[in-house]
């Protein structure tokens, strides 16, 4: 599998909230569940190749827990090829850090101007614990992250708005957070545990896309099978949104710790959406230990 060069990710066009179209959108829940069960049962070792691993590494965001010494040490990992330094293979996409570490990351990574594509600095400005905070506080956190130099900012959508199908309120909420986050790009996390059906999750994802989210992201859980179900639901929502509006939206996944799971997602995106969605412009992974597992897998197939 040839890894395409990632294109720059720009803020997307915001679309008007189309409630009539949204009401017609639904997903076949049992089919998604069967697909996820099949994936968990039959994960193919045939995906483990140098080309597939390089593609997965290019979509990987290092987590600050991958390097517990200093922010500078984390940035050094971002600057170096992950899989094969001699051949320059396996550059990760960037790093995911707390608000407090953004400024230091910016300072260290400014030295890598020659690296293409430039590393991305991402942060979570509004986690699930902040969704009940006053709107002004959430807006301030997004503004702060952008002013410090974050390229991508993750916000959790309100569980109340999503769970009660208050689509207009959810849409306005994301619009306000996106405006506060400019010029950074917005990743919207959807509260999967608060949504009663996959169709509710499907519609919440479409609302986030209409509001301009560059990536949608399911809430990570301890249930691996459920994570695959939720992720597949979002992949199908991305496909429907692209078919209807002609705009590409990416999938971001947290808690991905195994290289085999990352490779499975590369395969799902390629087969469902096409090869464009297997680059870091439209697919992202993060998870403690994922980078290390990529290296272990690379060493195994290289031996």
Q: Does 9 score more than 70 pLDDT?
A: no
Greater model confidence, 109 or 3: 109
pLDDT given for residue 40 in this prediction = 67
Q: Which residue has the higher pLDDT, 12 or 162?
A: 162
| Predicted confidence (pLDDT) at residue 141 exceeds the cutoff of 70 | yes
Cβ-count burial 5-30 (b if 16+ within 10 Å, e if not): ebeebeebebbebbeeebeebebeee
Q: Are 294 and 90 contacting, i.e. CB atoms less than 8 angstroms apart?
A: yes
Span 181-208, average pLDDT:
95
Paired tokens of 98: 């707390």
Question: Does residue 9 have a cis peptide bond before it, meaning omega lies within 30 degrees of 0?
Answer: no
Please check whether residue 128 is in contact with residue 159, taking contact to mean a CB–CB distance below 8 angstroms. Answer: yes
Alpha carbon distance 25, 218 (integer Å): 18
Question: Is-contact 248 242, C-beta < 8 A?
Answer: yes
How distant, in Å, are the alpha carbons of 112, 216, 219, 232, 261 from that of 31? 45, 21, 21, 10, 20
**Average pLDDT, stretch 174-200?**
94
pLDDT value at residue 49 = 82
Mean pLDDT of the chain: 88
pLDDT, position 41: 66
Q: Is 28 strand, coil or helix? A: coil
- 247 pLDDT exceeds 50? yes
pTM above 0.85, yes or no: yes
Domains and CATH numbers, the chain: 30-302 (3.20.20.70)
Q: How far apart are CA 278 and CA 58, in angstroms?
A: 9
Residue 115: per-residue pLDDT: 65
How does pLDDT run across 22-55, given as a tens digit for each residue? Answer: 999 999 888 877 877 777 666 555 566 888 899 9
Give percent above pLDDT 90 in the chain.
63
């Amino acid at each position: 599998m040839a890894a395409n060069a990632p294109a720059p990710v720009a803020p997307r066009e915001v679309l008007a909230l189309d409630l009539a179209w949204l009401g017609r959108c639904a997903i076949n829940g049992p089919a998604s569940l069967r697909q996820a069960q099949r994936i968990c049962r039959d994960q193919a070792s045939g995906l483990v190749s140098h080309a597939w691993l390089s593609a997965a590494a290019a979509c990987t965001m290092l987590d600050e827990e991958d390097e517990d010494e200093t922010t500078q040490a984390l940035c050094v990992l971002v600057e170096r090829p992950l899989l094969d330094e001699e051949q320059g293979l396996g550059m990760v996409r960037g790093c995911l850090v707390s608000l407090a570490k953004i400024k230091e990351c910016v300072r260290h990574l400014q030295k890598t101007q020659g690296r293409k594509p430039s590393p991305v600095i991402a942060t979570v400005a509004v986690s699930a614990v902040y969704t009940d905070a006053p709107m002004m506080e959430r807006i301030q956190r997004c503004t702060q992250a952008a002013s410090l130099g974050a390229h991508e900012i993750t916000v959790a959508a309100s569980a109340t708005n999503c769970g009660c199908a208050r689509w207009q309120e959810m849409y306005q909420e994301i619009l306000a957070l996106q405006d506060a986050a400019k010029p950074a790009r917005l990743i919207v996390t959807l509260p999967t545990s608060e949504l009663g059906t996959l169709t509710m999750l499907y519609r919440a994802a479409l609302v986030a896309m209409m509001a301009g989210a560059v990536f949608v992201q399911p809430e990570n859980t301890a249930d691996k099978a459920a994570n695959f179900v939720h992720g597949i639901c979002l992949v199908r929502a991305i496909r429907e949104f692209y078919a209807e509006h002609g705009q590409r939206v990416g999938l971001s996944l947290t808690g991905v710790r195994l290289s085999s799971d990352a490779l499975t997602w590369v395969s799902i995106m390629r087969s469902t959406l096409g090869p464009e969605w297997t680059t870091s412009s439209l697919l992202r992974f993060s998870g403690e230990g994922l980078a290390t597992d990529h290296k272990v897998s690379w060493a195994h197939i290289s031996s």
